[in-house]
Each structure stands twice: as C-alpha cells, then as structure tokens.
Amino acid sequence: MATAVLPFDPMIGQTLKHYEVEEQLGKGGMGVVYRARDTRLGRSVALKVLPPEFTQDEGRKSRFFQEARAASAVNHPAIAQVYDVDEAPEGLFIAMELVEGKTVKALIQARELDLLGSLEIAMQVASGLQKAHEAGIVHRDIKPENIVVTSDGHAKILDFGLAKLLEPPEPTSAPTGEELSHMETLAKTQAGFVLGTLRYMSPEQARGQPVDHRSDIFSLGVVLYEMVTGQLPFDGATPLDTLHALAFEETRPVTAIRPNLPPSLQRVVTRCLRKRAPDRYPDARELLGDLKAVQKEVESGVSTKVPLAVRLQEQWQALRQRTPGEWLLPGTIALILLALVLGMVFGSQAEGQGDGIPGTLIFFGIVGLFVWRRHRNRTIRLARRVVSKMTRMEEIRLIALDGMRFTVLADRARARTYVRANAIVDSVNGKMFFGDPFSVVVRDDLPPEEEQALLTGPGILYVREEEGGKS
C-alpha cells in the first residue's frame, strides 16, 4: 500500500537567529508554526513564522513589535509565554512557550467538554485576560483554536499580540458604508482566515473600529456559548452575513438549546455578548466572579433566586427563539383542543344548553384524566428512553434513578463514558416541554457495601446480566 509523502518544507533544519527548526506543527492564516530548539537556553519553543503580506506595512509591523514585547512581560499560568520576536531573512517570527495538548476547538468537536469543564476553561481564560488587560494588552483574537488545554487540565491562551497585524490604522471617523466596505475587502482577500475568526469577533472589531479589553470579553462569551451548546451564536453563510448577525441579531439562549443549563449561565453569556461595549462586563475580574458563582451553583445543585421579571424576560426570549419545528407539536395540540372546545360549545347551542353542558363536562373530565395519566407516567417513560440508549455501552452494569438523578455504575469509566452518558441525558432533556431536567452521575469506584445497598434499594432500572446467568 502506498504511503502519503508530505511536501518538503525548506524551513526544516534551518536556523533563524539562534532557533533551530525541527518540525512543522501547524499552518494557518497567520503563518506556519514549527517546533524549534533555542540553542542559547537549550529549550524547545514554538516558532511562528509570519507571512510577508502581514509585515509589508512598516507602521503595522512597528505596532506589532511594540505589542509583542509588551505581551512578553505578562506572566500568568493561563497565558503562553512570549519569549522573543525578531526578523530574519525568512521573515518575521515570534518564539513562544511550546504548549502541548488539545485545542478547545478539538475538544468541542470531539464532545469532550461537560458544563463544569467548560466553566473551568472559561474561568482560567478570564483570569489570564484580567492579567493582560491590567497590563494594557488586548488579545484581539480569542477563539477556540487559540486556547489549548494541557494534559493536566490547564488552559493556555496562545498568540497574544498577533492580531495587531490584522488591524488597519485606527480611523478618526468612518461611516457605516465604509466599515462594511472594509469588511468586504478583508473577506475577499483573506476569506479563509477571516471567515473562521469573524465568528468570534466583537461587533466593533469586525467593523474595523478601535477596540479595547471589552472586545476580548465578547469573544470569550462566544467561546463559552460554543463550549456549552456545541453551536456558534453568530454563523452566517458568508462573512457579511456573519457581520450582520454580529451587529444586529440576538443569540438564541443557551437554555433553549440545552434546557438543563442554569439560567445564571445564560445571564453571564448575555452580558458578554451585548452589542455595545459599555453594556458588557466592565472588566474580566467581574466576569470571573460571575463564572465562579455559576460553578458553585452547578456543583451544589442549589439555584440562586432569580427575580420574577428576569425569569419572565428569559422565558419570553426562549419562546421567541423557538424554531417552527419546535412549535409544531404544541401548536397541533392547541389547534385540536380549540377545535374540540368550539365543537362542544356550538353543539350545545344547537341542541340546547341544558343538554350540552353535561356532555361538555364529561368530555373535559375524560381529557383531564388522560392528561393527568400521561403526566404522572411521564418521568418513567423518559427514563426508559435514557436506559435504552445507555445500555448499548458495554461497560455499563447498573442504572438507578432517584428522583430526576441517574446513578450509573460502570466497570471502568473512561472519558467517552462520561461524555456519552451526559449526551444521552441532554438529548432527552431537550425533548422536555416542562418540568425539571434529568442529571447523571457516573461511578466506577463504589465500595461493595454501597453498591449492594444501591442494588437492593428502590429505583433500579437496569442490571447487566453476567455470564453464567447471574445478575
């Protein structure tokens, strides 16, 4: 069988200043990233070589040097350290801390993030942004591809200062038409890069206006939205469609996409994604405080009280964001009930009110009993859906239900076990029109006495049959 041959990269084996290039790690719109060896300090680094089209403008290059040097002075566990920035005959390059792990984009695509994991990443990133913003540094390109999670669970922000290269000189005043023209030109000349990055830009940044630290807060809000829902809040077919959504359209609430998410999380996301910068969080410190409050609420299972006006506003927003398909079932039921009521009313008028009223009462009594019976058995019906899907995982050996909480015992709980179990529960919760959502706990380290108590207690929905007929 023939094997694919990678194209030869002339940079491999070359030396830029005192960095020996060893291998290519990745390639994107902002340049090529290599693993390199710092011969002076004897350490491995990530070396990003920037394309000439980004560095031809001397004014822009000068601003980038200034920004990169300032970023190198920021020291925080959530920020990949900038070691050096320089220019060689091969082009402008920046030497950074070599961070090995998975990008948040890869974690989202592989569905490896749960709610608490997403909140932890967002808090670490917010803490890093707070440190950078206090030093006067704005990232300008916060997106899942620029956040790497290491094997020990630490989030690192990459590419601080690089987005400065994309910024045009700050305009003194620019009408809306010119802003849109600038965005269209940028989209045509750098379509691949801009389309991927535009979805995470703040409205003022996408229009080519001056930005400050609140632009990073908007971008982090987009990343948080995508982590907890798996969907992007602003995603048009073209860059200009996405720009229009950024500037004018409201996002669908995260609680409408995943009903088991706490309303407090929706309030955090909403404040991050305000169109006007003054309406967002004033700084990352306040955002970090609210994220910690949401984390505490999720871990404790105790929801904070929300004012009635806020709850009504969130419910109204959720109803407005429903798709036609989501309105189909309740709309059909409402029309059928309305038709039956009108039929009974007009039927009673035609036959005489005295004869029609008892029939109407009997009809509504039967309908009420049917609805009550369906509601009474609703939980167990939905629970059986969860069990029928979970039992397809061979490592699951027991499933119990206590109220709305599933306890799942597994032979060995791997990462995919947690992800799959939560995805199944989320899928069933997404089909609920009312009521509390299910939650799930996966265990593989239960002591024998606790396992026996669980096995002999109420709420057992599934026990795997072992070989030899034992269960």
Assigned domain for 471 exists: no
Assigned domain for 172 exists: no
Where residue 158 sits, what CATH number does that domain have? 1.10.510.10
Higher per-residue confidence, 38 vs 323: 38
- Beta-bridge partners for 460: 400
Which residues are catalytic, by number? 141
Query: What tokens appear for 365 in the block?
Result: 């009594």
pLDDT higher than 70, residue 70: yes
**Would you place residue 179 in the very low, low, confident or very high pLDDT band (cuts 50, 70, 90)?**
very low
Between CA 463 and CA 461 the distance in angstroms is 7
Same domain for 58 and 111, yes or no, is no
Same domain for 84 and 30, yes or no, is yes
Higher per-residue confidence, 107 vs 323: 107
Q: Largest alpha-carbon pair distance within the chain?
A: 101
Where residue 79 sits, what CATH number does that domain have? 3.30.200.20
Please state the domain count of the chain: 4
pLDDT higher than 50, residue 176: no
Q: Which residue has the tokens 């049917």?
A: 370
**Would you place residue 48 in the very low, low, confident or very high pLDDT band (cuts 50, 70, 90)?**
confident
Assigned domain for 148 exists: yes
Question: pLDDT value at position 189?
Answer: 42
Question: How would DSSP label each residue in 337-358?
Answer: HHHHHHHHHHHHHHH-HHHHHH
Specify which of 297-301, 339-343, 405-409, 463-467 reaches the highest per-range mean pLDDT: 405-409
- Which percentage of the chain shows pLDDT scores above 70? 72
* Phi, psi (rounded to 5 degrees) for 239: -55, -40
Same domain for 294 and 435, yes or no, is no
Within 10 Å of residue 416's Cβ, how many Cβ atoms?
14
Same domain for 143 and 71, yes or no, is no
Same domain for 252 and 127, yes or no, is yes
Handedness of CA 67, 167, 218, 124 (dihedral sign): negative
Residue ranges in 352-414 assigned as alpha helix (H): 353-376, 378-390
Where residue 432 sits, what CATH number does that domain have? 3.30.70
Query: What tokens appear for 273 in the block?
Result: 């994604």
Within 10 Å of residue 443's Cβ, how many Cβ atoms?
14
Between CA 434 and CA 424 the distance in angstroms is 18
Higher per-residue confidence, 287 vs 335: 287
Same domain for 49 and 133, yes or no, is no
pLDDT higher than 90, residue 273: yes
Average pLDDT over residues 36-48: 93
- Which percentage of the chain shows pLDDT scores above 90? 28
Higher per-residue confidence, 234 vs 420: 234
Same domain for 397 and 351, yes or no, is no
Same domain for 158 and 238, yes or no, is yes
- Domain region containing 368: 335-372
Between CA 437 and CA 139 the distance in angstroms is 38
Same domain for 215 and 309, yes or no, is yes
Per the prediction, the chain carries an average pLDDT of 78
Express each pLDDT in 85-108 by its tens digit.
Answer: 888 877 788 899 999 999 999 999
Express each pLDDT in 303-314 by its tens digit.
Answer: 555 555 655 665
Same domain for 34 and 109, yes or no, is no
* Domain end call among 98, 129, 146: 98
Higher per-residue confidence, 70 vs 396: 396
pLDDT higher than 80, residue 221: yes
Assigned domain for 3 exists: no
Same domain for 48 and 81, yes or no, is yes
Question: pLDDT value at position 87?
Answer: 85
Question: pLDDT value at position 270?
Answer: 93
Question: How would DSSP label each residue in 31-66?
Answer: EEEEEEEETTTTEEEEEEEPPGGGTS-HHHHHHHHH
Same domain for 297 and 233, yes or no, is yes
Assigned domain for 329 exists: no
